[in-house]
Amino acid sequence: MHKLSPKQVRPGYDKGFIDGYNQAVDDHLIERGAMIGVIGHSGVVGKAIYNAFPGSIGLSSKEGSYEEMAKADIVFMAVPTPSKKDGSINMDILYSCMDEMQKHKTKEQIVVVKSTVVPGTNKYLTSNYDFEFVSSPEFLTELNAETDFLTPDRVVIGANSKEAFDKVIDSYSKILPDGTQIVRCKPIEAELIKYYANCFLAMKVIYANEAKTLCDEVGADYDKVKLGVSLDSRIGDSHLSVTEKGGYSGMCFPKDTKGFSDYSKKIGIKQELIETMVKLNKEIREK
C-alpha cells in the first residue's frame, strides 16, 4: 500500500506540528479502503478529488443523492463559500449540505472540509452536527487542478482526534507520492493556514505592482529588477508579475483576502497589512 512514512517528516521542524504518517490505522479501513464521497464533485476542487479516488461517490447541485452519500466513510466537502457584498463569507451552501447530511445519516462518517472557510468553522460544525469534522484546506490552482491536487507542496490536516487523523491520512496515503509533507495541526490552525497562505501570495502581487510603478517612473526595467529580486530563493518568482489591469483577481484571492480581513475585524484583531492590501487592490482595479 502507498503510504507516507515517518521519513517524510521535514527535518528541523517541531514534530508536534509537522508529522509524517506513522500511526497504526484502522484495520477495517485498510482491508477494504475507506469509501470516499465528494460533495461538489463537478467543481474545480471537487473534481480533482473525485478523479483521484476511483469509485468514489459524487454529489453536486444537479447530480447525486444524500442517500448514496450516507454510504461513504469519508466525505470531502468542496462546495463554494462565496463573498457577500460586504466582503464577509457566505457559508450557507456548506451548512445546507450539512443539514442534508445530518438528515440522511445512517452511520459514523468523517467530513473533510476542503472548502475555504471562516476560521472557527470546524468548531461550529462540530457543535452543531453529529459528524467528525477534519479541516484540510486545498491549495491547488485552477489551471492545474488535478495535477496540483496529486502533487501538493504539503497537505494540512486539522483533526480533533487521532482516529480521524489516522483515517484521513490513510486515504491521502493511497493517492499522494511518498515524501509528501503532512502538516498535522488543530482545525483552527488548518483554517488559518489557508488564509495566511493566500493573503501572503496576494500581498506579493500588490508588492510587485507598487515596485513596477516606481520602476516605470524612474526609467528602470521592472523585469530586470524582478529577476534580480526573485533569484533569491527566499523570495522566489511566483506572484511577482504585473498584469495589464494590475492587482489580483480570480476566484480566490479577492474573496479570501476580503473574507480574512472581515474575520479579523470581527474578532477585534488588527491585521493592517492585509486590510491595506485589500484597499490597495481595490484602488488598482478601479483605476
Distance CA 132, CA 168 (A): 11
Give the residue at shortest CB distance from ligand NAD: 43
Element (H, E) at 54: none
Cα angle 122, 126, 131 (rounded to 5 degrees) comes to 115
138 binds ligand NAD (CB under 6 A): yes
Total of chain residues touching ligand NAD, rule CB under 6 A? 26
119 binds ligand NAD (CB under 6 A): no
- The least CB distance from residue 83 to ligand NAD, in Å, is 10
156 binds ligand NAD (CB under 6 A): no
Grid cell locating 129: 452536527
Residue 30 burial class via C-beta count within 10 angstroms: exposed 0-12, middle 13-18, buried 19 and up: middle
Residue nearer to ligand NAD on the CB measure, 15 or 71? 71
Q: Active site residue: 97, 185, 199, 252, which one?
A: 252
Q: Which residues contact 61 (CB under 8 A, 6 or more apart)?
A: 42
One of 5, 61, 161, 249 touching ligand NAD (CB under 6 A): 61
x/- map, 64-83, ligand NAD, by CB under 6 A:
--------------xxxx--
Region at 232 (left for phi over 0; alpha for psi -120 to 50; beta for the rest): beta
33 binds ligand NAD (CB under 6 A): no
Note if 252 is an active site residue: yes
Q: Which stretch binds ligand NAD (CB under 6 A): 3-11, 26-34, 58-66, 120-128?
A: 58-66
DSSP conformational letter for 255: H
93 binds ligand NAD (CB under 6 A): yes
Sheet (strand 181-185) strand order: 57-59, 36-39, 74-77, 110-113, 132-135, 154-158, 181-185
One of 44, 57, 70, 72 touching ligand NAD (CB under 6 A): 44
* Positions in the binding site for ligand NAD (CB under 6 A): 39-46, 59-61, 78-81, 93, 96-97, 115-116, 138, 140-142, 251-252
